[in-house]
Amino acid sequence: MNYRAKNFKLTEYNRCFYLKDNEGYFKTNLRRWNELVEVNAKSKFYDLEGFKLGETSLFPIELKELGDVEGKTLLHLQCHFGMDTLSFARMGAKVTGVDFSDKAIALARQLSEELDVPANFINANIYDIPDILEDKFDIVFTSNGVIGWLPDLFKWAEIISFCLKPGGIFYIVENHPFGNLIDEKYMEAFQVGYDYFNEGKPYHFDEDDGAYADPNIKLQNFETYDWFHPMGDVINSLLKVGLELEFFREFPFSFFQIHSDMKQRDDKYWEFQTFKHSVPMIFSIRAHKKSD
């Protein structure tokens, strides 16, 4: 399959060169995420047993803002082991999930079969999608801790546009870059620990701080490379490929405990307890591809 879609600017040569440039980062992160699959599947945070009994893994914001998905084709980028993907399938969507972790996709396929919930799961780096996926979708969805693993959001946006049908919807709910500035080791209050403008260079983390779903677990693969993307890059990447924004919203709470001062609410979100100022911790964007 070649790259002939309108506004799709990744040539075969440039794409291969680009992926080769970041291959070491991807391999390091893959080792981490393959190890996290078993950890996360056993964690209270993911509550896999509750999911198997019929509970949705989706949060209230995406359920409200994305709306009815029944009968629609939905592509879930960076789907981990597929709980959100399968939650959409239970709501009547025809789903495809993509993730670079082979162990995550193996578990996603196992859950699909075990629960008798039809879904298509693909093991791939999302930058490879134009090589392996010709289908176009009504919805492209991604959420909760995903874009920090991607080196280039402008190529990410091109792939989103490539996968959408004319008139199709793109939806994301994600860590807000402001919230990502928090120094998680400073326990007394909010303190900036990272650069907002970082010239596209990844942060290298190599300390064993446990897993986000289980801080007490000891991991063998604790080295990662993360990219911090300014809000302008997120929005401008989508505009550059011709997507039309329907809304951009910000929220003063998080979908996981990013700081020790946070406490979980009844709706599953986490909020600060002693830090009283309101700061954006997650954002959501809904956009659509222009109809032909």
Residue 194 has pLDDT above 90, yes or no: no
pLDDT of residue 122: 97
Residue 192 has pLDDT above 80, yes or no: yes
pTM: 0.90
Count of CA atoms in the C-beta half-sphere (13 A) of 260: 10
User: In angstroms, rounded to a whole number, what is the distance separating the alpha carbons of residues 7 and 10?
Assistant: 9
Kindly indicate whether the domain formed by 12-289 is annotated with CATH number 3.40.718.10: no
Helices (H), ranges, 75-172: 83-90, 102-115, 129-132, 153-163
Q: Which residues contact 21 (CB under 8 A, 6 or more apart)?
A: none
Query: CA dist 40 to 2, 70, 82, 275, Å?
Result: 37, 28, 12, 29
Domain boundaries, the chain: 12-289
Count of CA atoms in the C-beta half-sphere (13 A) of 212: 13
pLDDT of residue 143: 97
User: How does pLDDT run across 17-47, given as a tens digit for each residue?
Assistant: 445 578 889 999 999 999 999 999 998 999 9
User: How does pLDDT run across 162-178, given as a tens digit for each residue?
Assistant: 999 999 999 999 999 99
In the structure encoding, which two tokens stand for residue 48, read together? 């896999």
User: In angstroms, rounded to a whole number, what is the distance separating the alpha carbons of residues 104 and 76?
Assistant: 14
